[in-house]
Structure 1
Amino acid sequence: MPDKKIVCKDCGKEFIFSEGEQEFYKEKGFENEPVRCPDCRRKRKQERNNNRGFRR
C-alpha cells in the first residue's frame, strides 16, 4: 500500500496519508480516508474540546 497524497478540505494543502497511517485506519475499522491535514485535524479537535465548556 503506497503513501497517498490528499488535499486538505479546510486549508487546501497537500498532505501524505502514509502507509502506516493507512494500516492504522484499517485496523481501527475506519472506512474513510482523512479529508483534513494533521494541522487542521488538531485545530478542529481543539475547537470541539473548547466548545464543550462548563455546563452546570
Structure 2
Amino acid sequence: MADKTLVCKDCGKEFLFTEGEQEFFKEKGFESEPKRCVECRRARRQQNSQNR
C-alpha cells in the first residue's frame, strides 16, 4: 500500500490518505475510501452532534 491523494467532496481540497489510515480503515472493515478531508469530517461530526 502507498499513500493516496484524494479530493474532498465538500471543499474540493486535495488531502492525503496515508498508508496508516488505509490500514486503520481496513481493520475497521470500511470498504470505501474517505470522501472528505479531515477538517470537513470534523466539521460534519460536530454539526451532526449539535443536531441531536
TM-score using structure 2 length: 0.99
**1:39 aligned residue:** 39
Identity of aligned residues (%): 69
For these two proteins, the number of residue pairs brought into alignment is 52
Unaligned runs of 5+ in 2: none
Superposed CA RMSD: 0.3
Q: Is 1:7 aligned with 2:15? A: no
Q: Which structure 1 residue ranges, 4+ long, deviate > 6 Å from structure 2?
A: none
Alignment of 1:17-56 (within 5 A): 17-52=17-52
TM-score using structure 1 length: 0.92
